């Protein structure tokens, strides 16, 4: 089935059989109709706004930064020659035109093998298209051109700064001299239906600091170098006291990766050109393969349009893609590291944390993974900030490529009200609460090894708004056959659900599990308040039995 931009397909899964085909009810809805966030102060675990930046697990003790890992985190251009090879290629130059923005590179290859190619991503302003050049052995072997209105890569740090300069000049020309005292923030702008504009469009806001509400907003066309529309958002907020403001590093894309063996876990961590946050790959537990790769490809954001307003009266939607393209934000409590690696203890359990901080527009986002010695893997995201004065919802998308004892023989199951386990045998999207007690799992049918999904139990919560368990009915679980559409950077518009689902059979296939969270934020709560949500995985390995050796 072909996916149409701005639309999504929802599949409802039959709950009356133990093993069987999915009963599908298909409907289309626009991605610009997310649930309206409501007030949830009365049932959140924490509402204190006094905590500063950045988030910290509550009640953690014996926190230890793993400084020895610094040597494992290698910073540097992944392959400076690949960009030069692409820019010198006549076919690439013809496809990209004269005004070219270099966005970054991404290592690609066959799953399970060492990447054998680099994809150089460019944006051509004259041709209004993104150009992807595949480089192998210093030779361009393929060139793909994608019209700007179909897909655009994330904005670079250079583009963000240019958008701020253009919009600041605009406000000065309008007589708003206060703009010189404000901090400017930029995020990639999309149309109200979630698709990109035909040109490279940025949304800029000016605030007294990162924890203040926006005062001036503008849409900047980076192709023409002009402001297409603007408005005064709020009155000046002088005298605001704020915690230290995180600032984007503003550096070219670099590579951050390494390896860690810890309490039964063995894994590689990586920030790649995919801009899918910090990812973990080749993950084993107690020597058994568990995940090929886990990552957060995107977090989409939809703003509410109250009665009597138009979409252009608010802002968004946005696609937050965390990574190196725009420059990460150094974490001051981790010696200004861009990749946080640390141990801590909580409720008698020892944990290992990997985290990154990114500033996209006025949003401050901390994405993290937490691993425990007893086989838990927690995926978490924290967010604060306001792009405009309207209620909105963040939808983080996590992807788990589960390869229990290898990519074969894995099945996705959920617990039915009858107590039976249902095997989902074709691709699906389903509300998380269609499994009793959120009991979703991936199981290897040969070994019996299992990875279970669990509710976020609030362990990582800081003072701030925490999505309560009763709102987890809004989360979505998706099962997919691993294919090339999942392997690279996010190539979809701003969607509430994944948006493509052709009902391919999962039985006998290499499967991945997607989890879409729900993170509401009201304008009344303000920009200082951290919001958080996540999902937890529990690895359960089956006993191993070995035949008796002959005497």
What is the per-residue DSSP string for 138-190? TEEEEEEEEETTT--PPPPHHHHHHHHHHHHHHHHHTT-GGGGGSEEEEEE-B
Dig out the tokens for 78 from the structure.
């992944």
Query: What is the pLDDT at residue 227?
Result: 96
φ/ψ of residue 312, rounded to 5: -75, -10
For residue 336, give the DSSP letter.
T
CB 60 within 8 A of CB 371: no
Residue 240: what pLDDT? 38
pTM (two decimals): 0.81
Number of CB atoms found within 10 A of residue 324's CB: 27
Bridge partners of 101, per DSSP, are 123
The sign of the CA dihedral 187, 189, 193, 196 is negative
Of 305, 358, 364, give the one whose Cα is nearest residue 327: 358
Phi-psi region for residue 277, left (φ > 0), alpha (ψ -120 to 50) or beta?
left
Provide the pLDDT for residue 336: 81
Distance CA 301, CA 292 (A): 28
The DSSP output letter for 313 is G
Return the biggest CA–CA distance within the chain. Answer: 93
Cβ pair 397, 319 in contact under 8 A: no
Cα 63 to Cα 45: distance, rounded to the nearest angstrom: 23
CA atoms within 13 A on the CB side of 366: 23
- For 243, which DSSP code? S
State the sign of the Cα–Cα–Cα–Cα dihedral 97, 103, 107, 110.
Answer: negative
Token representation of residue 165: 């300069």
Task: Return the HEC string of 476-500.
Answer: EEEEEECCHHHHCCCCCCCCCCCCC
CA distance 495 to 301: 9
**Cβ-based neighbour number of residue 241 at 10 Å:** 6
Two tokens, residue 499: 């948006």
What is the per-residue pLDDT for 361? 87
* Cβ-based neighbours of 115, under 8 Å, separated by 6 or more: 107, 108, 109
Per-residue pLDDT of the chain (551 residues; tens, 9 = 90+): 333 223 333 233 332 222 332 222 222 223 333 333 333 332 232 223 344 455 666 677 788 888 544 334 333 344 668 999 999 999 999 999 999 999 988 888 778 777 788 999 999 999 999 999 999 999 999 999 999 999 999 999 999 999 999 999 999 999 999 999 999 999 999 998 899 999 999 999 999 988 888 999 999 999 999 999 999 986 554 443 333 333 333 333 334 788 999 999 999 998 887 889 999 999 999 999 999 999 999 999 998 877 777 767 788 899 999 987 777 888 877 778 888 898 988 778 899 999 998 888 888 888 999 999 999 998 988 888 888 888 888 999 999 999 998 888 999 999 998 989 999 999 999 988 888 878 899 999 999 999 998 765 555 554 455 555 566 667 899 999 998 667 778 888 888 888 777 778 998 889 999 999 888 888 888 887 778 888 889 999 998 754 444 44
CA angle 277, 493, 141 (to 5 degrees): 75
d(CA 325, CA 489): 12
Q: Which residue has the tokens 């937050």?
A: 320
User: 335: burial class by Cβ within 10 Å (0-12, 13-18, 19+)?
Assistant: exposed
HSE-up (13 A, CA, CB side) for residue 525: 29
Q: How far is Cα 41 from Cα 474, in angstroms, rounded to an integer?
A: 18
Residue 481: CB atoms within 10 Å: 16
**Is the separation of the CB atoms in 283 and 294 below 8 Å?**
yes
SS3 503: coil
User: Nearest to residue 325, comparing CAs of 381, 275, 257, 270?
Assistant: 275
Separation of alpha carbons 134 and 82, rounded Å: 9
* E strand or H helix that includes residue 85: helix 80-88
What is the rounded CA–CA span in Å between residue 353 and residue 297?
Answer: 19
pLDDT on residue 155: 93
How many angstroms separate the CA atoms of 64 and 156, rounded? 33
Backbone angles phi, psi at 190, to 5 degrees: -125, 160
Using CA atoms, how far residue 325 sits from 237, 274, 336, 360, 489, in Å, is 32, 9, 18, 11, 12
DSSP 337: B
Radius of gyration for the alpha carbons in the chain, expressed in angstroms and rounded:
23
For residues 266 and 259, give the distance between their C-alpha atoms in angstroms, rounded to a whole number: 8
- Distance, CA of 185 to CA of 165 (rounded, Å): 10
């Amino acid at each position: 089935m072909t996916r149409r931009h701005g639309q999504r397909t929802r599949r409802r899964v039959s709950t009356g059989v133990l093993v069987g085909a999915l009963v599908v009810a298909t409907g289309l809805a626009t991605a610009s109709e997310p649930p309206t966030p409501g007030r949830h102060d009365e049932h959140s675990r924490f509402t204190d706004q006094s905590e500063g930046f950045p988030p910290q697990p509550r009640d953690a003790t014996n926190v230890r930064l793993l400084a020895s890992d610094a040597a494992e985190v290698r910073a540097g251009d992944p392959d400076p020659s690949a960009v030069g090879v692409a820019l010198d290629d006549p076919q690439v130059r013809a496809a990209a035109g004269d005004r070219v923005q270099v966005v970054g590179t991404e290592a690609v290859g066959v799953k399970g093998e060492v990447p054998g190619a680099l994809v150089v991503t460019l944006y051509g302003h004259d041709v209004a298209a993104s150009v992807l050049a595949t480089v192998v052995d210093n030779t361009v072997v393929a060139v793909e051109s994608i019209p700007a209105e179909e897909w655009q890569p994330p904005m670079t740090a250079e583009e963000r700064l240019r958008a701020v300069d253009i919009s600041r000049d605009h406000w000065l020309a309008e007589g708003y001299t206060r703009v010189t005292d404000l901090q400017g923030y930029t995020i990639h702008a999309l149309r109200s239906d979630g698709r990109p504009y035909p040109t490279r469009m940025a949304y800029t806001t000016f605030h007294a600091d990162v924890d203040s509400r926006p005062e001036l907003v503008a849409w900047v066309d980076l192709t023409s170098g002009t402001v297409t529309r603007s408005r005064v958002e709020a009155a000046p907020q002088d005298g605001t006291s704020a915690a230290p403001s995180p600032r984007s590093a503003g550096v070219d894309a670099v590579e951050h990766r390494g390896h860690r063996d810890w309490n039964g876990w063995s894994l590689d961590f990586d920030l790649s050109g995919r801009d899918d946050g910090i990812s973990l790959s080749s993950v084993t537990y107690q020597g058994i393969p568990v995940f090929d790769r886990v990552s957060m490809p995107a977090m989409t954001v939809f703003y509410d349009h109250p009665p009597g307003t138009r979409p252009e009266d608010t802002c968004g939607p946005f696609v937050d893609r965390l990574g190196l393209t725009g420059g990460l934000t150094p974490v001051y409590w981790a010696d200004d590291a861009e990749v946080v690696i640390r141990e801590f203890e909580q409720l008698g359990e020892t944990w290992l944390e990997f985290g990154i901080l990114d500033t996209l527009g006025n949003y401050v986002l901390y994405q993290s993974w937490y691993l425990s010695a007893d086989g838990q893997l927690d995926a978490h995201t924290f967010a604060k900030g306001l792009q405009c004065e309207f209620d909105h919802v963040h939808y983080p998308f996590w992807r788990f490529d589960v390869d229990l004892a290898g990519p074969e023989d894995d099945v996705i199951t959920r617990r039915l009200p009858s107590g039976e386990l249902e095997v989902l045998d074709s691709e699906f999207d389903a509300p998380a609460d269609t499994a009793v007690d959120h009991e979703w799992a991936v199981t290897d049918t040969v070994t019996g090894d299992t990875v279970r999904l669990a509710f976020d139990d609030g362990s990582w919560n800081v003072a701030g708004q925490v999505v309560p368990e009763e709102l987890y009915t809004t989360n979505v679980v998706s099962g997919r056959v691993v294919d090339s559409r999942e392997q690279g950077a996010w190539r979809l518009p701003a969607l509430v659900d994944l948006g493509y689902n052709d009902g391919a059979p999962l039985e006998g296939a290499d499967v991945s599990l997607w989890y879409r969270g729900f993170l509401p934020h009201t304008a009344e709560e303000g920009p200082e308040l951290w919001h958080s949500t996540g999902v937890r995985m529990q690895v359960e390995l089956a006993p191993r039995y070995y035949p008796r050796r002959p005497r």
